[in-house]
Structure 1
């Protein structure tokens, strides 16, 4: 019995000693049993390392609700049914609602976006208003046309109405001519036959004349009305040919128009008729500068297909009227 108790006590002491942590062992020796000079210094037990601090995960920013038309969830609603009500797919509805943490869990009172509001287009930068200038030019010249017979002389008043931009370029251009002939004045050549009522009406109503533009096809430069078939080269009427020139000169300055006229028109004031070389005389062909490039020749073919009338001759002074309009231009006030 005593022997058994001694064994149990010995085992308990061993277990107690081994259960103590290493850094907590107690040194029971004293200075009387170990000489001072031979005693090795006892190292202080190392302090345990503090566990490395772990960063808490950053809280996810709440998803912003897309702006638009919304639907308020009621009891019994599910996303697919809401999508169906609004003629859309469930996927499309989910994309419109990134604020939903769990698309399977929606609650009465939740706001569900069912139609996004289109993003407003960025405002266009303010652009300074461009200035425009209006110029009107009028030039009169008398034409001796007696070679065609008596009473064929005429007085021509050529006008140019031009809109210029702030760089002097032509934005809009309209030329016109009033051709005044003896036939317009009763009694001009025969005073005895003078119609006094004509002049009386003219004082109050103005002269009953039309410009060539106003006459339109009735002017009959093509001779279609007189002969039944157009016999001029371009087969175009007076105002139609003038339209070709006006379109050609848009975007040019008046100085550039003058340069174009000087380079591409002959002494008769007409552009070189590159579109009708087979109908020109040898002298007319010889007058065409040999220095024209292929591009210039093609340009003249394009122009003279639509217009061959003179820009400056005793009949009309289109270039002079344009220069006059350029000199007299004034800013347009809106």
Structure 2
């Protein structure tokens, strides 16, 4: 398939403008003090639907033919992609079916249903992807969370905005990985606009689809055990693997407990309420700083905030965090 080019990302930016928020890119004094190096945060948790996923969902819906839209959409999701497809489909008057595992956040299910989508729950992520494929075979139009160049290009608009808003001041940018759509797009945008920047991916233990793909030389099915459903892809795609293997410095893996602690630290020090899929960036940032030494200036793509206070507190109790 090849790498998504900067022209495709710029076209996606034009397509989705007016439908999504151009989220703030801000220096974080609190995280700078905590980590001991300058930190800039791209606050994609302030996006419509609470995560970057609105970008890809909107671009895909807008790029479809009338016949494809009339057939209705199907999406599979651990939470955020489902919310995005449901809400953006509702806004564009398109029928959507969202398939989620029972482990998906109850809040995500509720929001998708309130937006008018039909939500189908399955036992786990593997069976969710299987049902998605079945519904696609029955005639629904697939909006894949990451195996689609249109979606990857639209997620890349996050990187385009980050490049435009930071000039040349960043040395290292950290991006969470589920199926890899966000990091693929961001890496493609930054490679074109800021070729000197190192890009680091972050996964949690038990949701290591990209790490295992890199070790195997291509996408492989992985066993999922992380509590973080929004990072839990049963495998990456060839498209996202190709981007990461070509463009990303390294993929770091942190524990669920570290990711939840990162969520608490982001609340306390950055004053933003994130989900652990973004919280995982903080422990990874400490490793990057150890690795690259003095002079690093970090950019964190804070991907989403779709989690309740109750969820975070129960995880914090479970892991004995204070």
Q: Same fold (TM over 0.5)?
A: no
Which of structures 1 and 2 has the larger relative contact order (alpha carbons within 8 angstroms, sep 6+)?
Answer: 2
- The alignment's TM-score, normalised by the length of structure 1, stands at 0.21
| Structure with max Cα Rg | 1
TM-score, L = length of structure 2? 0.21
Greater helix proportion: 2
